[in-house]
Chain A
Amino acid sequence: MEKISAIVVRTMGEKLIFIAATIRKDFWSWFVISFSFTAIYYMVLMLGLIIRFDSLPNYVNAYGWIDNVRTIIQSTPSITDTLIIINDEWIFEVGFMNYDFGTGISEWSLFLAPTKILGVFLLGLLIATNYLLLRPKNRVCNDVRARTSVTASGFGALCVALASITMSWVVCCSTPTWVVGLAMMGLGVSTSLWLEPMGVWVNLLGFGVLLIAILSAAERNRSSFTD
């Protein structure tokens, strides 16, 4: 048993060393891909809102994130609650205000929440890692494993991307939530709102699958076990 464990640990260690070496070799590409992914992600969300609602944004709001987080920390006794609330704390909002009735109603908006941005950036890092590992010059796994890794990576990325959406729509109770994305894509609002509490699990599933995809891509092809 000890021998088997030692083999597993060594294999995992080897993989991690290989992944780190691959990133180090192409660090700037890795970083630029991740950063670009984050920027593109939010641009796509914005574009999605503009196309879906056929209206350009007409207002922006900036929020004092640091002060707000300080207030949350000071006034929330439970650490778990504090983290959950901070996770939803936004810094910037851009959206469309309908002034046909009363003093105006925010029809839709896109919120930027630092923790969510960080999550999307992390997603970008994982995608970039997988991309670097599967580049022909770095690739060590066989074709089947590479294809599986790409598919799994895509699925994981989709889960995280969906669960990281911070759009709000007045018909979805005007709060920024990931299920607005589902509702906008045509899923019934009731069903979407019913799915809302599952956001954390969708996120975890996505990151889990991505990590497995990366480790799988770092698995050496048996025939290449020469060094």
Chain B
Amino acid sequence: MLNRKQLVSIVSVMAVCAVNAHAEKIRIAVGHQSMCTDTYTAGIVVKELKLLEKYLPTSGKYETAEYDVSWSDYSSGGPITNQMMANKLNFGVMGDYPLIVNGAKFQATDSLRTKYVAGTGYNLKGSGNAIVVPVDSDIYSIEELRGKSVSVPVGSAAWGMLLKGMRDTGIKTSEYNLKNQSPAVGAANIAANKIDAHGDFCPWSELMEFRGTGRKIYDGSETGVPYLHGVVVREDFADQYPEIVTAFIKAVYEAGEWIREDPVRAVDLMEKWTGVEKEVLYIYFSQGGHLTLDPTIKPQWVDALKFNHGVLVQEKSIPVLDFDEWITEDYLKAAYSDLGKDYQMEKDSVVDPAIENSKLPMEIWHSREGISSYASIDEFLIAIDQFRKTGAKLNATYVYDIETGLKLFGKTAFFVKTDSGFTTFLRKPDADKFALEKSGTVMDIESALATLSS
């Protein structure tokens, strides 16, 4: 005969077994891109810090849920969409052009849809995309690309930027030789001086500049079309597990906070996770960097996406996309509410680097002592000079383009020396114009440093 204690134990074990037998296993599969910096706050950072796991619901219908979270890394957004169609991925993180293809391809089916549920980050004017020439090239502006060979990954956001940039400049497609090259091939060709110019998305241009093989002649910000990345989720998954979508957005938000809290720590770890040099990542994720981390969906973003869709329809005959059906802020609002954040306030806030970065200090990244800041370019140059005299190794130096507010590597910027000191520029034509107006002299950083001893 069983005693009371044994009976309770047996019933308890049976109860646990019964609960486990009914525990729902929820598979959460995310497709991200570790070679696309703007996706990091919904990709590699959330993955490595296990932020999604932190916010996954554990109460109510999820009380007995068992989560199976998996991450797949892709080199572009196209395959992520394919995998989402086959339901091998629930979430996809990608740039603006692939996002549009994702929404349109799903809407072209009879029964499947995705929802654009959150952004990851943006640059208001379109920085992140850029056109680069070999470092020793005598080309200094987009106007000089007439009659030249220019490569770009066709179908990417950089391709859209190139088309618009050329069109805005008045260069017809027949007036230059457009070649289709992947980022890695383009970067290799720039290094080997095999192509006149290469257009690419983040972080390739800065990668080429940092490695000393390329020089930016045109920044995406000149198109004036915002550059953004975002998160799409299969609608059937979102309908079934809305709380998980909300949890994902909370994770994206915290990833942004984590980066803002200590950008140096963040890029140091991101370099280990992605293989992209931390000095390059710093130009995106530091204060004044190219990327504003912000998951909100702003009306300007919807306009930009509609513009991009027009380009894709014209160039790639992609299906129509009903933006009202595709974009939803419901999950964002729920996530912000749960986190106690003001969604509307963040949605209304837009960072324009030309304004926000105008007062930011120059920076020097000392390999041992870390990053130091300097209020003026003159102080910055003096500091570099002193560091060099001690034989110190400098990882990178950063200045700002006076025209756009973009953060630049000191070694690729154009310095203009006038009576009132130095000013820095991204583009040589801007520097030349400024020098002419102010009776200044245009020079590179080495010449600027040389003026200290003269």
Which residues of chain A have a CB within 8 Å of any CB of chain B?
68, 71-72, 75-78, 80-81, 84-85, 88-89, 98, 100-103, 105-107, 168-175, 183, 188-190, 193-194, 196-197
From A80, A102, A169, residue with most partner B Cβ within 10 Å: A102
Q: How far does the Cβ of A107 sit from chain B's closest Cβ, in whole Å?
A: 6
Asked whether B110 lies within 8 Å of A170 as measured between CB atoms, the reply is no
Chain A residues closer than 8 Å to B86, beta-carbon distance: 68, 71-72, 85, 88-89
- Looking at the complex, which one of B77, B79, B87 makes contact with A76 (CB distance below 8 Å)? B87
> Do A78 and B109 form a contact, CB below 8 Å, given A85-B85, A102-B34, A174-B74?
yes
Task: Let me know if B403 is at the binding interface, CB within 8 A.
Answer: no
> Do A102 and B35 form a contact, CB below 8 Å, given A76-B112, A84-B109?
yes
CA distance A46 to B49 in the complex (A): 40
Asked whether A103 lies within 8 Å of B154 as measured between CB atoms, the reply is no
> Do A194 and B317 form a contact, CB below 8 Å, given A72-B86, A78-B111?
yes
Complex interface bits, B34-48 against A, C-beta within 8 A gives 1, otherwise 0: 110000000000000
CA distance A83 to B110 in the complex (A): 12
Asked whether B182 lies within 8 Å of A105 as measured between CB atoms, the reply is yes
Task: Let me know if B236 is at the binding interface, CB within 8 A.
Answer: yes
Asked whether B184 lies within 8 Å of A105 as measured between CB atoms, the reply is yes
Complex interface bits, B304-333 against A, C-beta within 8 A gives 1, otherwise 0: 000000000001110000000000000000
Interface size class of B (residues with CB under 8 A): 35 or more
Asked whether B276 lies within 8 Å of A173 as measured between CB atoms, the reply is no
- Looking at the complex, which one of B88, B109, B155, B183 makes contact with A105 (CB distance below 8 Å)? B183
- Looking at the complex, which one of A81, A103, A168 makes contact with B110 (CB distance below 8 Å)? A81
* Chain B residue nearest to A74 in the complex (CB): B87
Task: Let me know if B180 is at the binding interface, CB within 8 A.
Answer: yes
Task: Let me know if B82 is at the binding interface, CB within 8 A.
Answer: yes
Asked whether A98 lies within 8 Å of B111 as measured between CB atoms, the reply is no
CA distance A88 to B85 in the complex (A): 10
Which residues of chain B have a CB within 8 Å of any CB of chain A?
34-35, 73-79, 81-82, 85-88, 98, 101, 109-112, 153-155, 178, 180-185, 187-188, 204, 207, 236, 274-276, 315-317
Asked whether A174 lies within 8 Å of B79 as measured between CB atoms, the reply is yes
From B111, B112, B184, B207, residue with most partner A Cβ within 10 Å: B184
CA distance A101 to B81 in the complex (A): 23
CA distance A170 to B156 in the complex (A): 10
Asked whether B82 lies within 8 Å of A175 as measured between CB atoms, the reply is yes
Asked whether B110 lies within 8 Å of A80 as measured between CB atoms, the reply is yes
CA distance A111 to B188 in the complex (A): 26
CA distance A85 to B88 in the complex (A): 12
Chain A residues closer than 8 Å to B82, beta-carbon distance: 88, 175
CA distance A100 to B109 in the complex (A): 38
CA distance A103 to B75 in the complex (A): 10
* Chain B residue nearest to A103 in the complex (CB): B275
Chain A residues closer than 8 Å to B81, beta-carbon distance: 175
- Looking at the complex, which one of A68, A81, A107, A172 makes contact with B111 (CB distance below 8 Å)? A81
Asked whether A68 lies within 8 Å of B88 as measured between CB atoms, the reply is yes
Chain A residues closer than 8 Å to B207, beta-carbon distance: 101
* Additional A-B contact list (18), CB under 8 Å, known A81-B112, A173-B77: A68-B86, A71-B87, A72-B87, A81-B110, A100-B188, A101-B187, A101-B276, A103-B275, A107-B184, A169-B182, A171-B180, A172-B154, A172-B155, A174-B74, A174-B78, A189-B180, A193-B317, A194-B315
* Chain A residue nearest to B98 in the complex (CB): A173
Chain A residues closer than 8 Å to B101, beta-carbon distance: 173
From A193, A194, A197, residue with most partner B Cβ within 10 Å: A193
Chain A residues closer than 8 Å to B183, beta-carbon distance: 101, 105, 170
Chain B residues closer than 8 Å to A175, beta-carbon distance: 78-79, 81-82
Asked whether A81 lies within 8 Å of B87 as measured between CB atoms, the reply is no
Q: How far does the Cβ of B444 sit from chain A's closest Cβ, in whole Å?
A: 26
Q: List 10 A-B contacts (CB under 8 A).
A: A76-B111, A77-B112, A78-B109, A78-B110, A80-B110, A85-B86, A101-B204, A107-B185, A174-B74, A190-B315
Asked whether B154 lies within 8 Å of A174 as measured between CB atoms, the reply is no
CA distance A173 to B317 in the complex (A): 15
- Looking at the complex, which one of B74, B109, B184 makes contact with A81 (CB distance below 8 Å)? B109
Chain B residues closer than 8 Å to A197, beta-carbon distance: 317
Asked whether A101 lies within 8 Å of B275 as measured between CB atoms, the reply is yes
Q: How far does the Cβ of B254 sit from chain A's closest Cβ, in whole Å?
A: 24
* Chain B residue nearest to A97 in the complex (CB): B75
CA distance A68 to B315 in the complex (A): 32
CA distance A77 to B184 in the complex (A): 39
Q: How far does the Cβ of B184 sit from chain A's closest Cβ, in whole Å?
A: 4
Asked whether B87 lies within 8 Å of A171 as measured between CB atoms, the reply is no
Q: How far does the Cβ of A110 sit from chain B's closest Cβ, in whole Å?
A: 14
From B73, B76, B98, residue with most partner A Cβ within 10 Å: B76
CA distance A103 to B32 in the complex (A): 13
- Looking at the complex, which one of A81, A106, A189, A193 makes contact with B75 (CB distance below 8 Å)? A106
- Looking at the complex, which one of A72, A105, A106, A194 makes contact with B316 (CB distance below 8 Å)? A194
Chain A residues closer than 8 Å to B316, beta-carbon distance: 190, 193-194, 196
Chain B residues closer than 8 Å to A196, beta-carbon distance: 316-317
Chain B residues closer than 8 Å to A102, beta-carbon distance: 34-35, 274-276
CA distance A172 to B178 in the complex (A): 14
From A72, A81, A169, residue with most partner B Cβ within 10 Å: A81
CA distance A102 to B187 in the complex (A): 13
Asked whether A75 lies within 8 Å of B182 as measured between CB atoms, the reply is no
